[in-house]
Amino acid sequence: MERASAAYENDLNLKATELRLGLPGTDESSEKQSSRNYKRSSPEMDNSCQKDEQKCVPASKAQVVGWPPVRSYLKNVLHQKNDSDLSGMFVKVSMDGAPYLRKIDIKVYKNYPDLLKALENMFKCSIGVYSEREGCNGSDFSPTYEDKDGDWMLVGDVPWDMFITSCKRLRIMKGSEAKGLGCL
């Protein structure tokens, strides 16, 4: 469990996006963190920074979960505004076991293999090979999506164009749960 989460953290490169008061390049690997949330290091911990505390600004303006504190309702409303046929369609993507969700613009992709490759890159998992006949198989993860009717479907069954208009959100299911969806 510990190992998987550490690998996960490294892959997402949380360190690069972590807010901290240290100068870019200072290392905090000695600090024991059980939480995967974005934490800024307290100046007490990072002695090298204490003098320069006031001059230290985060290396990058990272996206922090829940900051700025905009009501998710408002975010969705404004986002929907910008979503027109021209400007893309963002859907949430969750992966079983991941602490937070991502969002992708599915209009950016032209077909299923493109989408699956992007998901694989985002979550560092292997989702398997898509084929017209069999859909996705060949791994422990199965991509599923929630359609307009609220049902959870396996990605790959319907034509791509139909998929992008009916997909409301994506979920990458793990293990045996997923196998149930894909049985022939």
**Selected binder of other proteins within 16, 77, 129, 162 (CB under 8 A):** 77
Query: What sign results for the dihedral spanned by CA atoms 76, 81, 82, 86?
Result: positive
Which window, 54-62, 117-125, 127-135, 137-145, contacts other proteins (CB under 8 A)? 54-62
- Segment contacting other proteins by CB under 8 A, of 33-41, 111-119, 129-137, 139-147: 33-41
Asked if 5 is part of the footprint of other proteins (rule: CB under 8 A), the reply reads yes
Chain centre distance of CA 7: 15
Strands 169-174 and 90-95: parallel
Structure letter (DSSP) for residue 111: S
| Nearer to other proteins (CB atom), residue 51 or residue 117 | 51
Between CA 103 and CA 93 the distance in angstroms is 6
CA–CA gap between residue 172 and residue 143 (Å, rounded): 4
Binding site for other proteins (CB under 8 A): 1, 5, 19, 21, 33-40, 42-44, 54-55, 57-58, 61, 63-75, 77-79, 81-82, 97, 99, 149-150
